[in-house]
Structure 1
């Protein structure tokens, strides 16, 4: 089956799977210690302009969003919409990291955005060929 895929299609599948694993495990490892993750986020943003009434609900939702994005990328369902959601999440994270002045994280997140762009750009409009 793999031998029937052209290099571009195979590369898109491999990148989608890699990002799926990445997002999935970001969510999975945070869920058992969700309270710790939320507390860490609250502490990170306590001396910034971001109010806790925005930070706290977002911190609770991030692992579930990551988990959902990861699963959907791995099973290749709603890929276009999932990638748009991943862009949205990454932009929210860039905004938060900027408020916290964590420029190293902003750079890493920009790298994610660049690879998400490539994945989105090379994913076929209708569906990715699977043969």
Structure 2
């Protein structure tokens, strides 16, 4: 029981982080995109990659966060958040924003642990649907 509750608290924490990131960015997509384009101006990444990612990122964060929060398709939500985090880590290294890297690595560590301990995901919509 304690492992299930521990899993729930960890899942809610990482889910809230992704959900919150997406939620606050969705209403200001244009501003986020302009900021991100400016950040990557001198990187080797082409605008053709940065621009669509800048508009897609908040949607990915919001959807992954929501899935993780409610425990619906939890595994897929964790994987979506993980792939999104890997893309962010790649971008962060391309602009040498080393201050942002530890936070992103912590997110990946949490996501990896949650994936490894998925059988403890007892308090989730996934469990209700399996019955």
Match of 1:18 in 2: 13
Shift of 1:129: 2.0
Match of 2:104 in 1: 109
Deviations 1:19-76 (A, max 9, x none): 1111111011111111000001000000010010100000000000011011111111
Shift of 1:100: 0.4
Name structure 2 gaps, 5 residues minimum.
none
- The alignment's C-alpha RMSD in Å is 1.4
Shift of 1:87: 0.9
Alignment partners' CA distance in 2, 1:92 and 1:102: 14
Match of 1:68 in 2: 63
Name structure 1 gaps, 5 residues minimum.
1-5
Alignment partners' CA distance in 2, 1:36 and 1:72: 26
2:115 to 102, 111, 120: 120
2:27 to 32, 36, 39: 32
2:82 to 82, 87, 91: 87
Task: Specify the SS of the correspondent of 1:22.
Answer: helix
1:129 to 107, 122, 128: 122
Match of 1:49 in 2: 44
Alignment partners' CA distance in 2, 1:74 and 1:63: 16
Match of 1:7 in 2: 2
Alignment partners' CA distance in 2, 1:18 and 1:119: 11
TM-score of the superposed pair, with normalisation by structure 2: 0.89
